[in-house]
C-alpha cells in the first residue's frame, strides 16, 4: 500500500502533452473495462489498471524552466496577468494578517503558497462558469475582477460587504462574477456544484461548475455524495482538490490511507488528473482539458499537489505540528517565485516591473483599508433581512424591540 506521503511529494516528471500519457492509458483501459460484461474479468482488469500509480503532471520546474518539448498553450499576457493576480493575492493576504494582529479585523485566512491553484484554474475557465471556492481561493476573485476595495470591505464586514457582515472574513462571493459565496463547512458546497452542473446541462448552457476544496474535505460525506451524484448523472462539474498537506494541524497520514485523493475519483468513475499545483502551466492546461471533458463527457477530479505555507488561520500555530525543514523545502517550490523566474527567463519581466507592481498594490491596499475603516457597520435592520424573501411580522417585532437598545442606529 502506498503511503500518502508518496503522493504528496511532487515527482519531477517530464511528461509532455496536454493530457498526461499515463492518464490516456488509464482512460483507455477503463473505457475497455467498463464495456466488459463478465464481472470477474471486469474486477481483474480494474485491479490491473489501478496498479498504475497516479503520477503528477508538471511542465514548469522550480527554476522556472519548461519541460523539454513543452510549449505553453496560453498567451504571454495571460501568464503576466496571472502572475500579477498571484502577487495581489499574496500581498492582500499579508496585509489582512497584519490587520488581524492589530485587532482591526476579527480573523483572516491566507492562501500563501497556494495562489497558483486558484489563479491558474480561474484563468483556464470561462467567466460564465460557476465557481464554488473555499476560503483559500481569494485568487479566483481577483482574477475575475473583484476589486481590492470590495475585498477589503468584505474583510471588515462593514456596510459595503456583499455579505452584510453576516459571515466571517474570507467568506467572499459575488453573484455578478458567478462566484458562489464561501461558507465555513469545508465540503457542503461539493454536492451544490454537482447540482449546479446538472442545471447547466438541463438549461443547455455551454458552461461548467467548478468546486474547490482541500484534502481534509475529501473525508467528509459531502465529497463522496457530490462526486457520486456527478458521476451517476454525468454532470459538467470540475472537482478541484488542493492537496496542501494539512487540514488545520491534521497531516495526510491521519486523513486517509489511499495514494492521495486521485484514486478516490477513479473509484467513482470520474476522470482524474494529478498535477503539480504550484506549476501554472500544469494547472492551466489540465483545467482547460478538464473543462472540455466536463462538457463532452462528464465530471473530472483534479488533485493539485501544493503546500499551505501559512497557518490555517489567524487562530492557528503551525510551529506545533510542522515537520522540520518542510517550509524551507516548499519555499523552493513557491509558485509565485517559480512563475516570476519563468517570466524573467522569457524576458517578459524584470526587477523594475516587479517593484512597480508591488508599490502599486501596496498603495491600493493602503487606500482601500483607509476607506474601509471609515465605512460604518451594516445598519441594525440588516439583522432581519434576507432570512426569508420577505421580512415576517415576527422578525419585525423582534427588531422593533431591539431598536430600543440602540437609539443611535440609523435604520
Partner 1 sequence: MNIIQALNLTLDQQFAKDDRLITFGEDCGAFGGVFRVTEGLQKKFGEARCFDTPLCEQGIVGFAIGCAQKGLKPICEIQFADYIFPAFDQIVNELAKMRSRTGNQYTAPVVIRTPYGGGIHGGYYHSQSPEALFLHTPGIKVAMISSPKDAKGLLTSAIKSEDPVILFEPKRIYRAIKEEVPEEEYEIPFGQAEVSRAGSDVTLVGWGAQHHQNMQAAEEVAEEYDLDVEVINLRTLNPLDLETLSESVRKTARCVVAHEAPKTGGFGAELSALIMEHCFLHLRAPVWRCTGLDVPIPHTLEEEYLPDAYKVKQALVKTVEY
- Interacting residues toward partner 1 by CB under 8 A: 130, 161-164, 166-167, 171, 173-175, 180-181, 183, 185, 188-200, 202-203, 209, 221-222, 224-226, 228-229, 232-233, 385-389, 392, 394
Distance CA 194, CA 233 (A): 9
| Least CB distance to partner 1 at residue 192 (A) | 4
304: exposed, middle or buried (C-beta count within 10 Å: 0-12, 13-18, 19+)? Answer: buried
| Least CB distance to partner 1 at residue 376 (A) | 16
User: Residue 148, CB half-sphere, CA atoms under 13 Å: how many?
Assistant: 23
User: Residue 314, CB half-sphere, CA atoms under 13 Å: how many?
Assistant: 20
**Residue 381: which of 355, 352, 362, 402 has the closest Cα?**
402
In the complex with partner 1, which residue's Cβ is closer, 156 or 284? Answer: 156
| Least CB distance to partner 1 at residue 130 (A) | 7
Distance CA 68, CA 348 (A): 20
Distance CA 340, CA 334 (A): 10
In the complex with partner 1, which residue's Cβ is closer, 114 or 161? Answer: 161
| Least CB distance to partner 1 at residue 128 (A) | 12
| Least CB distance to partner 1 at residue 204 (A) | 11
In the complex with partner 1, which residue's Cβ is closer, 357 or 395? Answer: 395
Distance CA 15, CA 82 (A): 23
Whether 256 and 207 have beta carbons less than 8 Å apart is answered as: no
| Least CB distance to partner 1 at residue 142 (A) | 18
- What Cα–Cα distance (Å) separates residue 7 from each residue in 55, 243, 257, 272, 340? 8, 10, 11, 14, 26
| Least CB distance to partner 1 at residue 382 (A) | 9
In the complex with partner 1, which residue's Cβ is closer, 97 or 138? Answer: 138
Specify which residues 237 forms β-bridges with: 209
In the complex with partner 1, which residue's Cβ is closer, 56 or 218? Answer: 218
DSSP 3-state of 62: coil
Distance CA 2, CA 258 (A): 7
List, by residue number, the catalytic residues.
Answer: 308, 312, 321
Distance CA 411, CA 401 (A): 14
Whether 193 and 113 have beta carbons less than 8 Å apart is answered as: no
Task: List, in sequence order, the alpha helices (H) in 102-171.
Answer: 115-124, 138-143, 148-156
Determine how many CB atoms are found less than 10 A away from the CB of residue 50: 16
In the complex with partner 1, which residue's Cβ is closer, 4 or 191? Answer: 191
- What Cα–Cα distance (Å) separates residue 347 from each residue in 37, 342, 352? 56, 9, 12
166: exposed, middle or buried (C-beta count within 10 Å: 0-12, 13-18, 19+)? Answer: middle
Amino acid at each position: 500500500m502506498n503511503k500518502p506521503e508518496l503522493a504528496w511529494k511532487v515527482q519531477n516528471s517530464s511528461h509532455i502533452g496536454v493530457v498526461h500519457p499515463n492518464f490516456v492509458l488509464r482512460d483507455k483501459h477503463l473505457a475497455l473495462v467498463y464495456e466488459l460484461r463478465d464481472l470477474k474479468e471486469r474486477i481483474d482488469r480494474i485491479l490491473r489498471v489501478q496498479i498504475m500509480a497516479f503520477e503528477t503532471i508538471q511542465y514548469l520546474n522550480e527554476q522556472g524552466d519548461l519541460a523539454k518539448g513543452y510549449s505553453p498553450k496560453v498567451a504571454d499576457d495571460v501568464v503576466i496577468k496571472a502572475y500579477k493576480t498571484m502577487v495581489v493575492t499574496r500581498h492582500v493576504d499579508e496585509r489582512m494578517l497584519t490587520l488581524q494582529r492589530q485587532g482591526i479585523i476579527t480573523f483572516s485566512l491566507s492562501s500563501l503558497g497556494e495562489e497558483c491553484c486558484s489563479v491558474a484554474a480561474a484563468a483556464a475557465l470561462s467567466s460564465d462558469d460557476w465557481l464554488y471556492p473555499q476560503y483559500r481561493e481569494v485568487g479566483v476573485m481577483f482574477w475575475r475582477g473583484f476589486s481590492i476595495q470590495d475585498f477589503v470591505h468584505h474583510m471588515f464586514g462593514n456596510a459595503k460587504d456583499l455579505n452584510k457582515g453576516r459571515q466571517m472574513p474570507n467568506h467572499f462571493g459575488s453573484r455578478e462574477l458567478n462566484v458562489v459565496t464561501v461558507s465555513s463547512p469545508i465540503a457542503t458546497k461539493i454536492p451544490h456544484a454537482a447540482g449546479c452542473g446538472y442545471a447547466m446541462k438541463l438549461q443547455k448552457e455551454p458552461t461548467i461548475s467548478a468546486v474547490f476544496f482541500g484534502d481534509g474535505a475529501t473525508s467528509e460525506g459531502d465529497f463522496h455524495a457530490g462526486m457520486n451524484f456527478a458521476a451517476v448523472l454525468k454532470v459538467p462539474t470540475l472537482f478541484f482538490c488542493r492537496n496542501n498537506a494539512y487540514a488545520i494541524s491534521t497531516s495526510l497520514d491521519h486523513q486517509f490511507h489511499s495514494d492521495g485523493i486521485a484514486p478516490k475519483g477513479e473509484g467513482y468513475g470520474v476522470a482524474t488528473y494529478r498535477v503539480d499545483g504550484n506549476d501554472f502551466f500544469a494547472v492551466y492546461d489540465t483545467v482547460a482539458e478538464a473543462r472540455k471533458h466536463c462538457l463532452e463527457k462528464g465530471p473530472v477530479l483534479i488533485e493539485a499537489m501544493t503546500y499551505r505555507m501559512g497557518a490555517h488561520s489567524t487562530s492557528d500555530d503551525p510551529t506545533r505540528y510542522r515537520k522540520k525543514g518542510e517550509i524551507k523545502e516548499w519555499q523552493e517550490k513557491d509558485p509565485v517565485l517559480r512563475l516570476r523566474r519563468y517570466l524573467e527567463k522569457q524576458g517578459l519581466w524584470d526587477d523594475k516591473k516587479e517593484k512597480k507592481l508591488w508599490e502599486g498594490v501596496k498603495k491600493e491596499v493602503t487606500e482601500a483599508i483607509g476607506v474601509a475603516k471609515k465605512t460604518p457597520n451594516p445598519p441594525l435592520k440588516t439583522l432581519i433581512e434576507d432570512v426569508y424573501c420577505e421580512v415576517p411580522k415576527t422578525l419585525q417585532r423582534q427588531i422593533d424591540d431591539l431598536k430600543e437598545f440602540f437609539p443611535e442606529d440609523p435604520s
